[in-house]
Amino acid sequence: MKTILITGSNGLLGQYLVQLFSEDAAWQVVATGKGPNRLRRQSGYTYEAADLTDQEAIASLIAKHQPQVIIHSGAMTQADDCERNKDACRDTNVTATKYLLEASVAFFLFLSTDFVFDGLNGPYREDDLVNPISFYGSSKVLAERAVMAARQPWAIARTVLVYGVSDDPKRSNIITWVKGNLEQGKSIKVVDDQWRTPTLVQDLAIGCKLIVEQQATGIYHLSGKDLMTPYDMALAVAEHFSLDASLMERVNADTFTQPAKRPARTGFVIDKAVKDLGFAPRSFKEGIEIVKRQLT
Ligand SMILES: NC(=O)C1=CN([C@@H]2O[C@H](COP(=O)(O)OP(=O)(O)OC[C@H]3O[C@@H](n4cnc5c(N)ncnc54)[C@H](OP(=O)(O)O)[C@@H]3O)[C@@H](O)[C@H]2O)C=CC1
Ligand SMILES: Cc1cn([C@H]2C[C@H](O)[C@@H](COP(=O)(O)OP(=O)(O)O[C@H]3O[C@@H](C)C(=O)[C@@H](O)[C@H]3O)O2)c(=O)[nH]c1=O
């Protein structure tokens, strides 16, 4: 039995990683997050609270459990917050990653993002040049460089616009945000000039497990396979849940601005993950159906 340490375990991806690995008898799961464990199921794994920015806490957590694998999913993930609180973003997304790398020799899988690209000519392959246009994206580039320079075997899984049902939704995602507002009869402004390959959280978790089980090293783009705009996604959600699409106002970058710049056209070419790992993500429509079944 191997020990795997999963950071960010209270987050959207983290909870699905904990579930997926703790169901597999080959793995002893150590989950870590900030503060108390917020997952619905609290058995079948060990949870230890630790602040990723506390170097001593991280070193002692790793010394205690001696994991053979680390999946580093924990991060400051609200791009706008990162733009407004650059020090906190750097501490959490860059320095904390270095603390984990320095404290361990385990196989290290780092979660990164399409926001490392400038969005001028997506969809992107793994060997395309990064050029972040937000501080969040820059923090992930700096963390990726630390991972690539590490002494231990490493992999970087980049993903895009993750969606799904969360135990403890501290943050919404595109499906829950559209569904929640339309169900309450609230109007929403949805952009039609950003392009993404939205990713079902279960598929992302499976992709991470494929990398870990195959000890695959290097960069992998793990995302959905449909290139869509958030407006397309919102229409699909309204249709699937029989909600009132007239509450959706179509907007674009001229009228819709957020504190952090978003790369316009990202999305990933996932051929390498499909070929090398056997990654097989669901379509967006299949993903919505899975979310719908989870919610009923
Ligand atoms: N969601 C998406 O669309 C995308 C996500 N990614 C990347 O994938 C990874 C997982 O994303 P996702 O699950 O959506 O993110 P979430 O924001 O849902 O989860 C991140 C987790 O990290 C935890 N965390 C933050 N700071 C600290 C800290 N100082 N110490 C301990 N834990 C901390 C948070 O704790 P708490 O809950 O207590 O705040 C949270 O549970 C991230 O690295 C993200 O950058 C990449 C592309 C797209
Ligand atoms: C809030 C909001 C978002 N949107 C669109 C913009 C965007 O394409 C999508 C999601 O917007 P958000 O601001 O919630 O998320 P955003 O920060 O754009 O999403 C990012 O999250 C981080 C973690 C990543 O790593 C990126 O891959 C990406 O998923 O929805 C609207 O159209 N209208 C709105 O009012």
ipTM: 0.98
Q: Which ligand is nearest to the CA of 82?
A: 2
| CA nearest ligand 2 atom 19, residue | 161
d(CA 223, CA 183): 28
Give distance in angstroms: CA of 32 to centre of ligand 2. Answer: 25
Give distance in angstroms: CA of 2 to centre of ligand 2. Answer: 36
**What angle (nearest 5°) sits at the alpha carbon of residue 194, between those of residues 189 and 200?**
90
52 in Cβ contact with 99 (< 8 Å): yes
Closest atom of ligand 1 to CA, residue 74:
22
Whether pTM exceeds 0.80:
yes
Q: For residue 103, give Cα distances in angstroms to 29, 38, 60, 66.
A: 18, 26, 9, 10
Q: What are the structural domains, with CATH classification, of the chain?
A: 2-164+199-224+267-282 (3.40.50.720)
Give distance in angstroms: CA of 12 to centre of ligand 1. Answer: 7
Is residue 13 within 6 Å of ligand 1 at its C-beta?
Answer: yes
Q: What is the pLDDT of residue 169?
A: 65
Strands 2-7 and 248-251: unpaired
Q: Which ligand is nearest to the CA of 176?
A: 2
Give distance in angstroms: CA of 242 to centre of ligand 1. Answer: 31
Give the pLDDT confidence of 239-283 residue by residue, as tens digits. Answer: 999 999 999 999 998 889 999 999 999 999 999 999 999 999 999
Give the pLDDT confidence of 79-88 residue by residue, as tens digits. Answer: 999 999 999 9
